[in-house]
């Protein structure tokens, strides 16, 4: 999980992503977040080079909760071209993440 990130850090990650970017908002105390980590790692590995995964500890970056109206963790935000295009919350499967990524990759 990444440490404290500023708005500029997040904006730079989004701007630098040449393809879809998954922004995983989690917390170390969250059991569902730990389960989601395995799913995210598997999807990121399978889509290596096509998608970037950025993990953020929401406890240290609570400003992101306001920015993206997050009230449940884990929350996975999918960005394309620097803009959010999809969101998964709570417990999600690799097939759900993969389906969201597939849709984003289809879009030009």
3-state secondary structure at position 27: coil
Are the CB atoms for 57 and 28 separated by under 8 Å?
A: yes
Residue 20 falls in the annotated catalytic set:
no
Phi, then psi, of 7 in degrees rounded to 5? -55, -40
C-alpha 105/C-alpha 20 separation (Å) is 7
Q: Which of 5, 17, 33, 73 is catalytic?
A: 33
Is there a cis peptide before residue 74, judged by omega within 30 degrees of 0?
yes
Residue 33: alpha-carbon gap to chain centroid = 12
Q: Which of 30, 65, 85, 105 is catalytic?
A: 30
Residue 67 falls in the annotated catalytic set:
no
Query: Could you give the residue numbers annotated as active site?
Result: 30, 33
């Amino acid at each position: 999980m990444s440490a404290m990130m500023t708005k500029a850090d997040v904006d730079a990650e989004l701007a630098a992503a040449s393809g879809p970017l998954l922004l995983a908002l989690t917390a170390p105390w969250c059991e569902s977040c730990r389960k989601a980590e395995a799913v995210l790692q598997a999807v990121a590995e399978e889509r290596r080079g096509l998608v970037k995964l950025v993990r953020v500890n929401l406890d240290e970056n609570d400003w992101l909760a306001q920015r993206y109206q997050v009230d449940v963790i884990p929350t996975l935000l999918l960005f394309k071209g620097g803009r959010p295009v999809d969101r998964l919350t709570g417990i999600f499967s690799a097939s759900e993440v993969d389906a969201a990524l597939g849709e984003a990759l289809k879009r030009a």
